[in-house]
Amino acid sequence: MKKLLLLFVFINVVAFGQKQKMAVNPIKTAVIQSVDKHQQELISVSDKIWAYAETALRENKSSKELADYAEAQGFRLKRGVAGMPTAFTAEYGSGKPIIGIMGEFDALPGISQKAQPTKEALNPGAAGHGCGHNLFGAGSLGAAVAIKELMQQGKLKGTVRFYGTPAEESVGGKIYMARDGLFADLDVCLDWHPDVEIAASTQSSQAMVDFIVEFKGKAAHAAADPWNGRSAVDGLEAFTDGVNMLREHVRPSVRMHYAIMSGGDVPNVVPEYAKIWMWVRDSKREGVETVFSRVKEIAQGAAMIAGVEARVTVQTGDYELLVNRTGASALQKNLEILGPINYTAEEIAFAKKIQEVQGGEQIGLDGKIHPLKETQEHPTGGSTDVGDISWIVPEITLIATTAPPNTAWHGWSVVACGGMSIGHKGMVLAAKSLAMTMVDLFENEQLRKDVRTEFEQRKGSHVYKAYIPEGPPPLPIGK
């Protein structure tokens, strides 16, 4: 009986699979074909940005590469928005609905790497795309271009807007764009991120605050008259002592990390200045606020201990991401229509070599389409300025495989895979599945309403207020 039942289920699944394949919306077939048609161009854009490897707010060539491509495709460009020369929007169509899609393109300092499975810098000391943002930008733009082509043919109505969002790895470019109201008129926004698996994301991200604490004391000869001095480094040390005691009394979801930026120059002068850069994270913004107010008190207490002054300056901060399960479910269906990424023997060998070098289990790549996961409200791991956008407009996030599991993220192997076919395949899947989901959003008013309802429920009465300080974005000085 059991065997019979299993057989029956199997036949049904196969029949369903075939039926599903045949029933694909022709407009979705058209966006898939559009991405295929532009595939080589998208790869070329991505590879150029990969080679430029420009860091936060210095992404001049990378931003231009994407913006010029969008302009050549017929998009209306606004360059240098929100006070950042590398931020831009590219729009096509008119009227409602307005569907946005974001693309990043900044690299990480110091991790230049060749597109090979062993560690070797392309340009020693230079930056590298250890978070795959070269693929992120080009893939999202590819999706926008596919939608534009359907609008051109009169098959979709509304506006598609690509956001060229700089400086995700520091500063938080999207937050400045949000402050200028650039996301305010959107119905829904989409994005994706390179990863080690494919998923319609139902995982939040961590809220965080990024700040500097400076200590000002009084210099003196360290042997002749130390009693006339007040050490700023004493203040800094008392501060880190306090922070490390606080660790015992925070929730398990809290993360605190710091780097000492300035700690005196020479031992024989009582240091008059010290500086520490710190992040506090938690799975919810309220948790960050609670810990951050304790940390500010510790800074004042430490200053009192050392007889110096302390000053705390907020640089930026991210909200946690508001998951939109309704939107993720729509994306999931499109991933299932597309099916898994198939890798060649060479690609699997490339991945396994990386795993061997990094001492991880040699399991190759994960190109599968997994079932939609449970919503994760309290994730460990990173923060993103996409979180801020998700409090302004319903946000749908995809993750797609561009590197093997058991890989050190923000590391050389992610750079390596992002500059070759493993990364390209993830980018193409992202462009297709996001474009298909945009088709759903343009065509299906009820889906837009349902996505909006879930967003309003999750947001509740909270009024979004960015962490960034008043004034223009902190543009880098010099080269």
Q: Tell me which residues touch Zn ion (CB under 5 A).
A: 131
| Backbone dihedral angles phi then psi of residue 423, each to the nearest 5 degrees | -65, -45
**Nearest one of 393, 190, 390 to 285, comparing CA atoms:** 390
- Minimum distance of Zn ion from residue 247's CB (angstroms): 26
Q: Which is nearer to Zn ion, 394 or 418 (CB)?
A: 418
Q: Which is nearer to Zn ion, 129 or 424 (CB)?
A: 129
Q: Which is nearer to Zn ion, 131 or 207 (CB)?
A: 131
- Minimum distance of Zn ion from residue 384's CB (angstroms): 7
| Parallel/antiparallel/unpaired status of strands 159-164 and 88-93 | antiparallel
CB 96 within 8 A of CB 158: yes
Q: Hey, which residues does 199 pair with through a beta bridge?
A: 399
Q: Which is nearer to Zn ion, 97 or 103 (CB)?
A: 103
CB 206 within 8 A of CB 381: yes
Q: Which is nearer to Zn ion, 122 or 131 (CB)?
A: 131
- Minimum distance of Zn ion from residue 205's CB (angstroms): 11
CB 161 within 8 A of CB 86: no
- Minimum distance of Zn ion from residue 95's CB (angstroms): 33
Burial 420-429 (b: 16+ CB within 10 A, else e): bbbbbbbbbb
Residue with the closest Cβ to Zn ion?
131
- Minimum distance of Zn ion from residue 427's CB (angstroms): 14
Q: Which two tokens stand for residue 174?
A: 């999207």
Q: Which is nearer to Zn ion, 131 or 335 (CB)?
A: 131
**Burial of 242 by CB count in 10 Å (0-12 exposed, 13-18 middle, 19+ buried)?**
middle
Q: How far apart are the C-alpha atoms of 441 and 25, rounded to whole Å?
A: 13
**Burial of 374 by CB count in 10 Å (0-12 exposed, 13-18 middle, 19+ buried)?**
exposed
- Minimum distance of Zn ion from residue 193's CB (angstroms): 6
- Minimum distance of Zn ion from residue 106's CB (angstroms): 8
Q: Which is nearer to Zn ion, 129 or 148 (CB)?
A: 129
Q: Which is nearer to Zn ion, 138 or 439 (CB)?
A: 138
Q: Which two tokens stand for residue 232?
A: 């700023």
- Minimum distance of Zn ion from residue 411's CB (angstroms): 13
Burial 398-411 (b: 16+ CB within 10 A, else e): bbbbbbbbbbeeeb
